[in-house]
A and B are shown apart, each in its own frame.
Chain A
Amino acid sequence: MFERFTGEARAVVVDAQQQARRLGHHYIGCEHLLLALVSTETEAAAAMRARGVTPERVGQAVSRLVGGNFFDSLDRTALASIGIDVDAVRSRIEAAFGPDALASSRCGPVRRRRPRRWPRWRRSRRCARRDASGSGHLPFTGNAKKCLELSLREALALRSGHIGPEHLALALTSMSTGLAPDVFAAIGVSPARLHTELAGRYRQAG
Chain B
Amino acid sequence: MLTGVKMTAEIAEGAASNDPDVGLRAVAALRALTEQLEVLQVDNARTLGWSWQEIAARLGVTKQTVHRKHGRRIGRR
Residues of A at under 8 Å CB distance from B?
Answer: 70, 73-85, 87-89, 93, 97, 101-102, 106-108
Contacts and interface: CB of A to CB of B under 8 A. Distances in A.
The dominant DSSP class at the B interface is: helix
The dominant DSSP class at the A interface is: helix
Contacts of B25: 75, 77-78
B41 to A, nearest CB: 9
6 closest A-B pairs (Cβ-Cβ)? A81-B15, A78-B25, A78-B26, A75-B29, A80-B11, A85-B8
B26 A79 contact: yes
B15 A77 contact: yes
Given A83-B12, A85-B4, A85-B5, A78 B29 contact: yes
Contacts, number: 64
Contact of A79 (B33, B36, B37, B39): B33
A81 to B, nearest CB: 3
Contacts of A102: 36, 40
24 contacts: A74-B29, A74-B32, A74-B33, A75-B25, A75-B26, A75-B28, A76-B29, A77-B11, A78-B15, A78-B26, A78-B28, A78-B29, A79-B26, A79-B30, A79-B33, A81-B11, A81-B26, A82-B12, A83-B12, A84-B33, A85-B4, A89-B33, A93-B40, A97-B40
